[in-house]
Structure 1
Amino acid sequence: MKSVFTFITALLLVTIAVAQVPRKVVADKIVGIVGDKIILKSDVYNDILDRQRRGEPVPENANCAIMEQILTLKALVLQAEKDSIQVGDDEIDALLDNQIRGFVQMYGSKEALEEIAGRTVYQIKEDFRQTFKERKLAERMRDKIVENIKITPQEVKEYFLKKDQKNLPYYESQVVIGQIVVNPKPSRDLEKLTIDELNDFKKQVESGQQKFETLAKLYTQDPGSKENGGQYSVNRTEKQWDPAWLNNAFRLKEGQVSPVFKSKFGYHIIQMVSRAGDDAIVRHILRVPSITDDEINEAINKLDSVRAKLIAGTITFGEAVNRYSDDDNSKYTGGYLQNQNGSTFLELSQLDKDMVEMLGKTGIKPGEYSKPTPYTDERGKKGVRIIYLKTRTEPHVENLKDDYDRLAKDALEVKKQKALEGWFAAKIPAYYIMIDEEFKGCSTLSNWMQYAAAGNK
């Protein structure tokens, strides 16, 4: 039962289960009950069958592991409902819309999705609604259980000393690094040149001289959609899209091309390919006006004054990020760069090549700020930035001094895990538990079986 309480695993199960268009391929019967929450045989085995269809390896006793995770999920949902934890319909609708967009992207169109699934988009959403609601309720309950769990320096030290000191992990050089970015504004003449260029593309499409997707492949400066002819699947409720871009997209009828408009990325034209309510497939062409040396130098001068304030201590790095940085992503992290797991500890290979080169050339030390330096981002957009090197470690074996933050995070997760184990130990005996005989050979379900036997007497 050791892994039951790793809630991330339980959430992963649900994510895997909804990664395919739902298909009932197992004759259903009830194989488990927690309180008034039932578990169907298809809940357990459809995931295994989907993995086999995709050619993925299926671990031994996968049915036992999946059953364990679902029992955990159901128990958390049951308690969440008893504690009157709420999940709004709007929140679930947003999750469902995101899932459908993923399916549409996978199969190419809404029509193709509906043909493969044998159901309308509305019906597919309804198939997933309860699953998504339970996942979110369980997540909220898990957070409530561990919300007051903290970790002390002494506990971090004890956690580290309990590790096998002869087999500690080895880490390459890592940095914790932040940036303040200023994006220079182009001259009016170059902006007009870009607008005229896009207007010409619009005329070519509307006259039938060129296809929109052909022009996008040749001229768009959006690397994320260039090879796909500028195409995206979008939903008007999504927050990650630029508002101006989204508003212009959803003003269009199918086949229509927008006027030239400006977003935070540059100038665009959009073509509406197809639309179903708040969901749409669109194509766009992005053009970014050229930046001259004059604009670059203006940005450098601006950041020179910011750097002077940082060195003088009249402003903190976080304050400078909020006031002056044009980088939306790092603003939400206090200016610090993060990897996909949310960690600020980055290996040099995870930094962009300009930043690595900058660190090498400037030789800045931990706690220092680089001079303002021009660079080009992954979209080809020119900017100027200050780099703040908070910490830098040399290649080393894990230790308390260099890896305290990482160890503290791991120790906190272990402490939360124990709290969850204690919560389950107290709660499970109070629930009605039924587990089908089909799972009696699952050693990982021994505690659940014990309570099921007691509850069924």
Structure 2
Amino acid sequence: MTVLKKALLFFSLISSISFNLKAQDNVIDQVVWVIGDEALLKSDIEGVKLQMQLEKEHFEGDPYCIIPEQLAVQKLFLHQAKLDSIEIGASEVSRMVEREVNRRIAIVGSQEKLEEYSHKTMSELREELREPMRDNQIIQEVKQKIVGNIKLTPSEIRNYYTELSQDSLPFIPTTVQVEIITMLPSIPVAEIDAVKNRLREFTDRINKKESSFSTLALLYSEDVESAKRGGELGFMGRAQLVPEYANAAFMLNDPQKVSNIVESEYGFHIIQLIDKRGDRINTRHILLSPKVPAEELKKTTARMDSLLTDLQAKKFTFEEAATHISADKDSRNNKGLMVNKNEYSNYGGTSHFEMQDLPVQVSKVVDKMAVGEMSKPFTMLNNNGKEVVAIVRLKGRIDAHKANLADDYQVMKSIVEGKKRDDVLKKWVQDKIKTTYIKINDDWKNCDFQYSGWIK
């Protein structure tokens, strides 16, 4: 990963470590750069440096020159976002945070281990992730607006490839294609009824004015991020909400009323209208999710064992089973074949994955498999944070190699597109520096910066 990406993602994509610059010699902290109306502190730079050292990231140059410059570039993009009124909805930020938290839980094995490793409670960890993940998403949207759509012809890709010397050809890591079948453990009706009854109790308390909706959301909602705001999601369009929630929310007209219980992929909600503005709506909600008993998880694993036996006996194909049985709707509609949705990957939008792009539990299983082999059942968290039982089949593997157009056209296309995007963005940054107030502490000026014009 480049230093620029590390600077942009240092909190949101690697394990968190709290770093506070302690008072030494009566100096608590120091402003080293000012970009527009934003200050860049020495502790900011030390924090990134520490993270990169822990990741064993190699510095090609002085980190006290590289890191502040890249953080300054980040602030230029955030400043532009303010000018363009680019914002990320609170609900979308919450979803990003939950995906990242689930990813980390999958890596270390449990919520308890994650808290022990990070020295933070889950609430503290979510709060720490919230701002950097929001900023990173805002930066990506600013960049996309600056760059626009880059379209390349096949001849441009071929020309770029043929102009490269053999020594300059990129090294392509091992990639795999994976098919998956998942089963959701059954949740007893009694557990679902208990959740619904609790939500009905909340509705009754709100209607009788014994408690406010926001207070109950703060105390009991399992959407941790919105619960901190009394369940409020902020103004959102219909497309930003899951369909079941959107349908119920946009039917509300009276802020004093509470919706009926709404079931979505996340669990069960009750919703209250706050305000409507055209095609955007602000609501608050309380989310409760039924819990899967351990016994049901065992039963589901046993069913998947039976399914695996039938697949090995060739009673039907893996693709047929995925299409008709799998609970994973994305891969089910693709005959079980997983699609890479990592926007930072050269294979985004394709069925090819580098190991690091796969869900952690899947990559651990697939790593030792042969092409055509099926795994034993294993548990994993799906995209909604629900525990499921899965089996996977390794459909294909391309071992690490020097790039060639026959196998790596998509990668070469991504490389050329990335180069063109980088050229556009570098020019934008260089122009932005000229029109932005920038002041650098004298002790931090002696650097060979990537961009000119920082020192004015």
Q: TM-score, normalised by structure 2?
A: 0.50
* Higher percent of residues as helix: 1
Q: TM-score, normalised by structure 1?
A: 0.50
Bigger Rg, structure 1 or 2: 1
